[in-house]
């Protein structure tokens, strides 16, 4: 385990929570492969094929996003992240009627992983994005899929920047809530 990873992640999340979007993006990009292998391990332990692993990764990233205020800045960030990931894995398994005990004491081994992987495709967002109000869906799609900035999305959709921000946040919050509401 790289000791500096914890301090790097915590300073990135601290910056992110203070409004630094590029620090936040860097953090999430670092987390994605780590979460991916953690999720795969969890599914393997439950003897479930890991075809849906990327869905759970996406649900976890959304949960981290919407709940990032629940991290206390002076506390270690890695256990917080893996507790959220474990929660999402257990939830996903429960939906299939499976229960597993998933200790996170051994998460340290995942911190070392930094394999460069191509970006993976998950179905979670696609499955739920159509249920969003159309403005929220258009904003999320413009920024996520077409790679527009807030300003570009505002121009393209003839909205104010503030309205785009609000729609983006509400859309992401609604997507995160979709993961919670289906039992």
Partner 1 sequence: MKTDDLIRALAADPEVEKTPLSRALLYGLVPGILVSLLLYGPLIGPRPQLLAVITEPRILFKILYPLAVFACAGPLALQLARPTGNARPLVAILGVLLLVLIGAVIIELFVLPRDLWRVRLIGHNALVCMVLIPSFSAAPLVGALIALHRGAPDNPGLAGAAAGLLAGAFGAALYATHCPDDSPLFVATWYGLAVLVVMAVGALAGSRFLRW
Report d(CA 71, CA 51) in Å as an integer. 30
Least Cα distance to 61 among 39, 83, 21, 31 occurs for: 31
Q: Which window, 41-49, 68-76, 106-114, 155-163, contacts partner 1 (CB under 8 A)? A: 68-76
Give how far the C-alpha of residue 42 lies from the chain's centroid of Cα atoms, to the nearest Å: 17
Footprint of partner 1 on residues 40-59 (CB under 8 A)?
54, 57-58
The Cβ of residue 110 has, within 10 Å, a number of other Cβ atoms equal to: 21
Give the CA diameter of the chain. Answer: 49
Least distance in angstroms from the C-beta of 42 to partner 1: 15
Least Cα distance to 2 among 155, 76, 110, 150 occurs for: 110
Q: Which window, 1-9, 37-45, 62-70, 154-162, contacts partner 1 (CB under 8 A)? A: 62-70
**C-beta of residue 6 within 8 angstroms of C-beta of residue 76:** yes
Residue tagged 């121009």 (tokens)? 155
User: Considering the rule CB under 8 A, would residue 103 count as an interface residue with partner 1?
Assistant: no
Which listed residue (2, 7, 25, 114) binds partner 1 by CB under 8 A? 25
Footprint of partner 1 on residues 4-23 (CB under 8 A)?
17, 19, 21-22
* 47 or 70: CB nearest partner 1: 70
Q: Which residues bind to partner 1, rule: CB under 8 A?
A: 17, 19, 21-22, 24-25, 28-29, 32, 54, 57-58, 61-63, 65-72, 75-76, 79-80, 83-84, 87, 119-122, 124-126, 129, 140, 143-145, 147, 149-150, 165, 168-169, 172, 176-177, 180-181
């Amino acid at each position: 385990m790289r000791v500096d990873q914890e301090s790097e992640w915590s300073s990135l999340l601290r910056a992110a929570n203070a409004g630094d979007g590029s620090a936040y993006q860097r953090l999430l990009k670092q987390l994605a492969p780590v979460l991916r292998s953690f999720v795969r391990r969890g599914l393997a332990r439950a003897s479930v094929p890991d075809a849906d692993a990327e869905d759970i990764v996406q649900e976890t990233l959304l949960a981290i996003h919407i709940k990032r205020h629940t991290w206390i800045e002076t506390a270690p960030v890695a256990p917080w992240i893996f507790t959220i990931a474990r929660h999402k894995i257990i939830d996903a398994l429960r939906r299939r009627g499976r229960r597993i005990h998933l200790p996170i004491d051994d998460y340290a081994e995942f911190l070392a992983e930094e394999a460069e992987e191509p970006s993976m495709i998950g179905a979670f967002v696609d499955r739920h994005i159509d249920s969003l109000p159309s403005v929220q869906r258009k904003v999320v799609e413009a920024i996520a899929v077409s790679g527009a900035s807030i300003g570009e999305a505002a121009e393209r959709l003839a909205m104010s920047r503030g309205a785009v921000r609000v729609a983006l946040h509400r859309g992401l919050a609604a997507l995160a809530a979709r993961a919670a509401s289906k039992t």
